[in-house]
Every structure is written in C-alpha cells, then in structure tokens.
Amino acid sequence: MSSRLLRPLAWLAVLAALAAPIAFGLNDYYLRVLNLAWIFAIAALGLQIVTGVAGQIVLGQAALVGFGGYATALLMMRLQLPWFVALPAAVLLTTAVGALLGAVSTRIKGHYLAIVTLGLNEIFRMVAINEEWLTGGPMGLRDIPTLSIPGLGGSIDRQLYLPLLAVCAAVYALAVHFHRSRIGRTLRAVRDDEIAAEAMGVDSRKAKTIAFMLCSACGALAGGLYVLLAGFAAPNNFTVFESIKMMLMVVMGGLGSIAGTFLGAVVITVLPEALRDLQTYYLAAFGLGVVLILLVAPRGLGVIGDWMLGRFLTGPQASVAEAPASPLNLRDAAEAASAALAGQVHAPQAAALLRVEGVSRAFGGVKALNDVRFELRRGEILGLIGPNGSGKSTMINACSGVVSVDGAIALEGTRLDNHRPWEIHAKGVARIFQNVRLWESMSVLENVMVACPRTAGGAGPGAREAGRREAALQALVHMGVGHLAHRRAGDLSFGQSRLVEMARAIVSRPRLLLLDEPAAGLRGGLIEELALILKHLRAEGMSILVVEHRVRLVMDMCDRVVVLNLGDKIADGRPTEVMSSPAVVEAYLGERIPPETPPAAMPPAGPPDAADAPRAVAVA
C-alpha cells in the first residue's frame, strides 16, 4: 500500500480512536484520565519546545504549570473574574516569568540550567505550602469554579472531553506551524550549533527567551485547564516528580518531535492506569513497558508522529534540479560564473572596505595575533595565508565577533571589534568556518533559509517565507548544490557540506565575505571552478577575505595577499611578489642552514717552537 494512501487511513484511525470514548460511553474515571492526558500533552509540548527544539534543559515545568493554575484560581476566586478572562491573564503572567527564566538561560547553560530549574520547582512548592494566606497552604485552594457545558453531557469529564481535546489539537497545530517558521528554524539552529547560529545572524539570547516564554505559556494554559477541570489546586499536584514525568513524556515522544510529544503524553498518562489491576507490581510493569518502547523505537514515538504529519511538518517542497553524475559537480555553476564574467575587466576600488588596525589576541601565553594591520578594498579578494598556527583563523573569528581582540576592526568606518556576531552579520558580514558547522538535524534548504534576511520576500508572512525559500534555492544553485536542497545536512559528504556552508554565507548578499579554507574537501578540477565562482561573487559586489593553504587557488583568484607568521604580519602585496619574498619562504620552509665548514687541521704533537707559538694560541 502506498504512503499516499496509508497516511490518510492512519489519520482516520486516530480520529476514530479519539471519538470512541464519547461514542461508546466510556465511564467517567477513564474520561478523567484522558482529559488529564490532553492537559499533560499541552504542558509537555512547552517542555518540548524549550528542551527538544531549543536545546535548553528544563526540569521545573511543573512549577510553571502550578503558577498558571494558582494564578487562574486566584483571579477567579479573589477578583471574581470569569474563566475566559482569568485563564488568558494567568497565561500572560506566567509568560512574563518565562521571560525572566530566558534571561537567566543566557548566563547559565547545560546541566547548571537544569539544576537551577529543578531548584525553582522546589522553591515554588515550598512557597505554596507556607504562604497559606495566598495559596491555602498544604491543603491548597478548594471550591474553585469549574467549567461547565451542560449540553455536552452529564458529568464535567464528559462535558470537557471534546473541548479539551480541541484546545490540545489547536495548540499542537500552532506548534507545527511554529516549528517550520523562521523562529522555529532559529531555535533548532541554536540547539544544533549556537556559535554557527550567532554567526549567521541569530540572536541566541532572544531565541532562548522566546523558547522559555512559549514553554511558560503552554505550562500556564495546562495549569489553568487543570483547575477548571479539577476545581482545586494543591502543592502536591506540582512537585518535582511531575516535572520528571513531563520530561519522560518528551523523551518518550522523541526530542524535537512535536507529534511525538502528544503520543508520549498519552502513553505516560494512560499506561499506568491501564496497569492498575496489577496492584503492587503496576509501577514495575509501567517501567518495563517504557523501556520496551524505547528499545523498539530509540528515537521515540515521534518516528510515527512525524510520518503522519508529512508535509504539514516540512512545508511545501520546491522542485530541484536532478542530481549530477558525480557527488560534487561545479561545472554548471562555474560555466554560469564564466559567462557572467566574460568581457569584464576587474579593477578593485581604491577605497578600503575593511580596516584592521593594531589587532592583538593572546590565548594564555600564546600570542595568536600581534599588532596586525591591513586593509581590504572594495571589490577585492584578499588572501590571508601563513603556516599552521599563524593566526589566520583567529583573525577571521575576530572579524566575525567570535573572539574579542585588542585594537580596531572597522567596516567602512563602523567598528566591528568585540561586537556580538549577530550584530556584525546585520552590518553585512558573513562567514564560513574552518571546520564545517552545519545544523545537521535540519535540511540543506532550512540551513540556508536561517541566514536569509528577515525582510526577504513580500510584505506578508507567507510572502516573506516564500521569498526566503526562493533566495535559499538560488544560493544553493549558485554554489552548484541546488539538487541537495531537501537532503538532511547530516547526510552530506565533507565537500558537499562545505559548498552548502558557502551557500548559507552568500544568501544574505553580504558586503564582506569571510572564507576559512573554502577549498577543503575539493579535488583538483573543482578548485579552479570554485575560483571562478568566487570571482563571480566579487563581480556581484562582495569583497572577500579568504584563508587558504592551496597556493594555486590563492595565485589564481586573489588580488592581494597578506601573510601571517606566529601572529605577526610579515608580507603584504600582489601574489607573485609575496610568494617570492624571502621572509615568506623562510616562514614556510624554515631558516636556510649555512654550509658545513671542514674542521681546522690539528697541530703536530709536541711542544711548539717559538715560530709556531702565535698560531698555536690562535688555534687554542
């Protein structure tokens, strides 16, 4: 059976399973369990966004759920607000708390952030227990007005089954749209490689803050729906154990999988209740069931969920050119570049685009850069060469904001030194890294779309998204890898990854392009074709600073060359002049060893006579 037919059948089966509890009159106890599953699915979705999508480990989601639940209850009980006012207000308050957590996450990372959020969960529980005047203490808040829709059934669980399911479905639909949007791509880029994301214009602090705000909003919504269903809120409902359980839902669903989170929440909520008949052993059976599921599906239940979403998750796929016969083929791109350059006479402008003045950088006792000075003119390809360890990559990092330096780096009079990488990218500077840094979990097209300008395309969100997609495809075609657009970046060879990384750098049409060993991974003929492509980029208005070890490529494409050795600049000029410089030859090959001289003849044995005395002293 084809996938085109199997997927709709799977959706029909899911819809039938969701409608069955109401259609067949399932008892209220199991309806309560399912209602809790929908609520937990919303809370776990927030955790999936911040942990699975953005890569920030959070172990205190229950505190955010509790904050939203208590806020909803207090607004309804103390201020007499209706639920449809109290619930959105509670979500907004909790989202503000999430913004504060996002600010904390810019200072704390990894396991330290996990420990902090775990501590916040316990702090919330202790405050809820001890501040009886506000929270009701250990007994919690009772007699909270619940939501009632009599037309949907007799009991509250039957009345709220379909509304809670509808709210859960709507939240997940928004999450799927968010996942494939520009913000979703930037969060995934920060998760996969934060340094590369910042160099491509992503404000990582803003991205993390957005992730925490969305996490908090989902948690607050779940907490508010819980108190509207249960009619009470107590500290024991929002313990660290509940946070761990929600993290288990995320892991069970698969990190990064939106649809898998829903399946994980259903399994973790329903499975223990289905095993209750085992009495003493039901928790052991539950643990065994979780282990078996993860053994069968190591990537989680998201494998099933993502397959069901299909194009809803990935978005429309534009048609691409057929793959060439060889994995790496720049012939078409080089021929297009050659045709565009035909008849053009290149002459770099006299005005400097980039000025480097007295730049120094030390790593401990090692001086990577020592008072380096040079300039890059508009419309010029400037080569930066030198032996290994001479400071070339450090200079590229300094120009792109990855490392801080002493001295001044200016782009047309605007200082770049010691600025944030995303601020430098916004000024028209893009780069590739010495070691390829693609976001491997994303497609090639998504990698390039992350670096697209925010204003690409038309006026509306849909037009801008289409514009980014088109610009990314053009950049990939420009570098001869358009046929790889829909491949996963982690499946590419090193040479293909290098060309995709270059496409990602040029998609924003930067004024200054920083290339750190662009020919790495390319064989002989491809290097000459790459030189043509880079000359074409120069003709289109990009000035290029390139670090390269392949002398043939440097001689073929560079207008000038700057040579570094042990952090010092030792030469600056045209390629032919620099390559013949004695200082450059010595830096690459070492000092010239003087020829050995034969040892002096030894004097004859015995005491010297008076005539030989001066010579004997001289020899001695």
pLDDT tens, position by position, 451-502: 998 777 667 778 888 889 999 999 999 898 888 999 999 999 998 999 999 9
Whole-angstrom Cα distance, residue 576 to residue 559?
A: 10
Share of the chain above pLDDT 70, in %: 92
In this prediction, residue 428 carries a pLDDT of 94
Indicate whether 617 pLDDT > 50: no
DSSP letter string over 1-57?
--HHHHHHHHHHHHHHHHHHHHHTT--HHHHHHHHHHHHHHHHHHHHIIIIIIT---
**Identity (one letter) of the amino acid at 536?**
H
Angle at Cα 493 formed by Cα 488 and Cα 499, nearest 5°? 85
Whole-angstrom Cα distance, residue 239 to residue 266?
A: 20
Higher pLDDT pick, 75 / 109: 75
Whole-angstrom Cα distance, residue 584 to residue 578?
A: 7
**Identity (one letter) of the amino acid at 608?**
P
Whole-angstrom Cα distance, residue 200 to residue 430?
A: 7
Higher pLDDT pick, 577 / 276: 577
Indicate whether 619 pLDDT > 50: no
321: DSSP letter: P
Express each pLDDT in 44-59 by its tens digit. 999 999 999 999 999 9
Whole-angstrom Cα distance, residue 207 to residue 214?
A: 11
**Domain 25-313, CATH among 2.60.40, 1.10.3470, 1.10.101, 2.60.120:** 1.10.3470
Candidates 310, 258, 304, 303; CA nearest to 4 is 310
- Helix H, strand E, coil C: the string for 178-238 is HHCCHHHHHHHHHHHCHHHHHHCCCCHHHHHHHHHHHHHHHHHHHHHHHHHHHCCECHHHH
In this prediction, residue 551 carries a pLDDT of 79
Q: Kindly give the pairing relationship between strand 414-415 and strand 429-431.
A: unpaired
In this prediction, residue 202 carries a pLDDT of 95
Q: Kindly give the pairing relationship between strand 560-565 and strand 381-385.
A: parallel
In this prediction, residue 612 carries a pLDDT of 45
Higher pLDDT pick, 335 / 372: 372
Residues 6+ positions from 318 with CB-CB distance below 8 Å: 469, 470, 473, 485
Whole-angstrom Cα distance, residue 422 to residue 427?
A: 9
Indicate whether 174 pLDDT > 90: yes
Confidence of residue 332 (pLDDT cuts 50, 70, 90): confident
Give the residue-averaged pLDDT of 100-123: 90
Higher pLDDT pick, 26 / 314: 26
Indicate whether 171 pLDDT > 60: yes
Higher pLDDT pick, 281 / 87: 87
Q: How far is CA 611 from CA 384, 432, 532, 616, in A?
A: 64, 76, 77, 10
Q: How many helices (H) and strands (E) does the chain have?
A: 26, 10
Higher pLDDT pick, 588 / 399: 399
Whole-angstrom Cα distance, residue 230 to residue 525?
A: 71
In this prediction, residue 7 carries a pLDDT of 85
In this prediction, residue 613 carries a pLDDT of 44
Q: What is the dihedral of CA 105, 111, 116, 117, to 10 degrees?
A: 80
Angle at Cα 72 formed by Cα 71 and Cα 77, nearest 5°? 100
Indicate whether 176 pLDDT > 90: yes
Whole-angstrom Cα distance, residue 215 to residue 198?
A: 22
Domain edges within the chain: 25-313, 351-428+510-592, 444-509
Indicate whether 41 pLDDT > 70: yes
Express each pLDDT in 341-392 by its tens digit. 776 766 667 789 999 999 999 998 889 999 999 999 998 999 999 998 899 9
**Locate tokens 């949007």: which residue?**
181
The two structure tokens encoding residue 9: 């059948």
The CATH code belonging to domain 351-428+510-592 is: 3.40.50.300
Residues 6+ positions from 594 with CB-CB distance below 8 Å: none
Give the residue-averaged pLDDT of 251-273: 92
In this prediction, residue 118 carries a pLDDT of 93
Indicate whether 597 pLDDT > 70: no
Contact, 167 vs 217, CB < 8 A? Answer: no
Express each pLDDT in 213-234 by its tens digit. 999 999 999 999 999 999 999 9
In this prediction, residue 591 carries a pLDDT of 64
298: DSSP letter: T
| Least confidently predicted of 196-200, 306-310, 431-435 | 306-310
In this prediction, residue 341 carries a pLDDT of 77
Give the residue-averaged pLDDT of 328-343: 78
| Least confidently predicted of 150-154, 273-277, 598-602 | 598-602
Contact, 157 vs 35, CB < 8 A? Answer: yes
Burial profile 96-108: b = 16 or more Cβ within 10 angstroms, e = fewer: ebbeebbeebeee
In this prediction, residue 620 carries a pLDDT of 32
Number of neighbours of residue 376 by Cβ within 10 angstroms: 24
* pTM passes above 0.85: yes
Higher pLDDT pick, 286 / 209: 209
Share of the chain above pLDDT 90, in %: 62
Contact, 564 vs 570, CB < 8 A? Answer: yes
Whole-angstrom Cα distance, residue 53 to residue 37?
A: 22
Confidence of residue 134 (pLDDT cuts 50, 70, 90): very high
Higher pLDDT pick, 615 / 426: 426
Express each pLDDT in 554-569 by its tens digit. 888 899 999 999 999 9
Whole-angstrom Cα distance, residue 500 to residue 449?
A: 11
The two structure tokens encoding residue 354: 């980039």
Whole-angstrom Cα distance, residue 584 to residue 596?
A: 25
**Locate tokens 């003929």: which residue?**
525
Contact, 105 vs 56, CB < 8 A? Answer: yes
Per DSSP (E only), the strands in 490-575 are 512-516, 543-547, 560-565, 568-573
Q: Return the SS3 of 333.
A: helix
